[in-house]
Amino acid sequence: MSKYDSLWKWIQKNGDDKFSLTYAEIEKIAGLPIDHSFLTYKKELPGNTKKYLYFIPMWILATGNLWDGFALSYHGAELVFAVLSMIIVGFVEEMLFQCLGLTMQLWTRFMS
């Protein structure tokens, strides 16, 4: 628990990316006078976005094809066949890897 928890909660509820507060407003929100230790507590802000930076490349890769709009390559029955075949391929792949994992677990237990 930090003595500035009420201030961090207020900042989180505010939801704005940019805002400014005077020292008097900070003291009122926090409910205590400001001392120099405030600068060392600024790293406690919940929702620190630095730990989510690695999502940016994944988001770019996942949405890159949608930026200019999208058009269906298949129509009607071809689309249904393509979707079903991908579902079946995914299911077969999952079953193969599950069986391989189970086989490896049984093999290690048998050999030990």
Closest to 39 (Cα-Cα) out of 9, 2, 10, 1: 2
Domain check: are 109 and 79 in the same one?
A: yes
Say if residue 56 is in the same domain as residue 1: yes
The verdict on 86 and 40 lying in the same domain is: no
Alpha carbon distance 73, 4 (integer Å) = 56
Amino acid identity for residue 105 in this structure: Q
pTM summary value: 0.35
Domain assignment of residue 105, given as a range: 74-112
Domain count, the chain: 2
Q: What is the pLDDT along the chain (112 residues), one digit of tens a residue?
A: 677 788 888 888 887 777 788 878 888 888 887 766 656 655 555 566 677 777 788 888 888 877 777 777 778 899 899 999 999 999 999 988 888 888 888 888 888 7
Return the pLDDT at 85. 96
Same domain as 83, residue 39: no
**Same domain, yes or no, for 25 and 67?**
yes
